[in-house]
Chain A
C-alpha cells in the first residue's frame, strides 16, 4: 500500500495498468485525448507488481487495473473514470491537480 501511495503522489495523474490489458489502453487513450500525461505503471513489468495489485484490490478496485489516481487520490477503475468524465468532474479534477490547464 505504501508503494501505491508513494507512486500515486509522484505525479498529478497516475494510472496502474498491465501491458496485456486493453481496457487500460482505453483509459490511457482518454487521458491523452484530454491532454493529460499520466504516469503509467505496468504491474506485469514491475517487480512489486503482485503486491501493488493486492493493494489496489483492497482499495476496492475490481478489476485491479486500470486503477486511476489524480492528485494522489484514488479515483477508481474504468467505470468510475467514464462516469466522472461524462458529468464533467474528471476534467475538473485534472485541472485542480494541475494535470491539465483547460
Chain B
C-alpha cells in the first residue's frame, strides 16, 4: 500500500477510530453501490482508508511506548525516593536543589554501604568465574584456585564489617545495608550459618558418610553457638532495660540526679559491648564457612559456594520485585 501522500494522525481514541472506520465503510458501500464510473473514487477511498488504518496503528504503538516509558520512570522514581530516604536516615544533608550533599555524622554508615556494594560486585564477578569453570568442566586445580579465592574474599568483608561495627554498631545491627528480603533473616547483623548449612545439605550430594556426619555436626555446633550468643544478647537487653528503669521514680533530688548519671554511664557501658557480640557473630559465620570448606572436596565446595550465592541473589531479586510492586 505504498503511496507518497503524507499520513495524518486521524485519532488516538479507539471509539472515534471505530466510528471513523464505520463511517468510511458506509461511504465505501455507498460508493460501490453507484455505477462503475466512480472506480477512481473507489481507489481514492480505499487508499484513504488504508492510510487511516495505518495512522491509527502507528498512533496506538506510540501510545504504548509512551505508557511503558512512564511505568519505568515511575519505578525509577520510587527507587530514587527510597535511596533518598535511606540517605536522609543516615544523616546526610541533601539540599532541595539536589546539587549539594554533605555527610553529617552518618559517614561511617555510608562509607560501609559503599564498601559493601563494591565487595558484593567483586564477589559476584568471582562467582561467575567459578560458574564458568564448573560448567566448562575445569580441572580440580583450576577450581581450587578460584574457590580458595572466594573463601579468602569472604575474609575481606568480615574485616570490613568489623571496622564498620567499631564506627557504627547500630548501622550493622540494623541490616539497612542489606536488601529488605535479606533483612527478614537478619541475626546479629548478618546471616545465620546454621540455616545456610541446612539449605546446603540437600544440594551437596553425594557426600561420604564421614562428610555427612561432619556437616551435620557443624550445623548443630553453629546452631548451638548462635543460640548461646542470642542468650547473651537477651541478657544484655534485660540488663540495659533494668539499668534504665532503675533511674525512674520520684524526681528532683540531688541523689537521684547522681543516680541518673551513674545509670546512664552504666547503660553506655552496656551498649559498648554490642560490638563484641557482632564480632563474635561474624567470627561464627567466618569459621563456619571455613570449616565447611575443609570438610568438602574442591568440587563440592564449588557447588556449595554457587548455591549460597544463588540463594542470596534470589533474596535480592525478591527485594527488587517487592520494592517495585504496584501500589494503590
Contacts and interface: CB of A to CB of B under 8 A. Distances in A.
Interface of A: 20-27, 29-30, 33-34, 63, 78-79, 82-83, 85-88
Interface string B232-244: 1101100100000
A10 to B, nearest CB: 24
A-B CB proximity, top 8 nearest: A26-B232, A30-B228, A22-B236, A25-B235, A29-B231, A29-B228, A26-B228, A22-B235
B273 interface: yes
B218 A22 contact: no
B284 interface: yes
B280 A23 contact: yes
B291 A82 contact: no
A23 B283 contact: no
Given A33-B227, A33-B228, A23 B221 contact: no
B49 interface: no
Main secondary structure of the interface of A (DSSP, over half): helix
Contacts of A87: 287, 291, 294
Given A22-B236, A86-B288, A86-B291, A29 B280 contact: no
Interface of B: 217-218, 221-222, 224-225, 227-229, 231-233, 235-236, 239, 269-270, 273, 276-277, 279-280, 283-284, 287-288, 291, 294
Contact of A23 (B217, B239, B273): B273
Nearest to A32: B228
A22 B232 contact: yes
Nearest to B218: A86
Contacts of B239: 20, 22
A36 B119 CA distance: 41
B236 A78 contact: no
Contact of A83 (B235, B287, B294): B287
B232 A85 contact: no
Contact of B224 (A33, A78, A79): A33
Contacts of A83: 283, 287
A86 B235 CA distance: 23
A67 to B, nearest CB: 14
Given A22-B273, A83-B283, 4 more contacts: A25-B231, A26-B228, A26-B280, A82-B283
Contacts of B287: 82-83, 86-87
Contacts of A27: 228
Nearest to B280: A78
Given A22-B273, A23-B273, A82 B232 contact: no
Given A23-B276, A82-B283, A82-B287, A88 B221 contact: yes
A21 to B, nearest CB: 8
Contact of B225 (A20, A21, A86): A86
Contact of B280 (A33, A34, A79, A88): A79
A14 B141 CA distance: 45
Contacts of A20: 239, 269-270
B218 A29 contact: no
Contacts of A23: 232, 273, 276-277, 280
A87 B15 CA distance: 74
A26 B284 contact: no
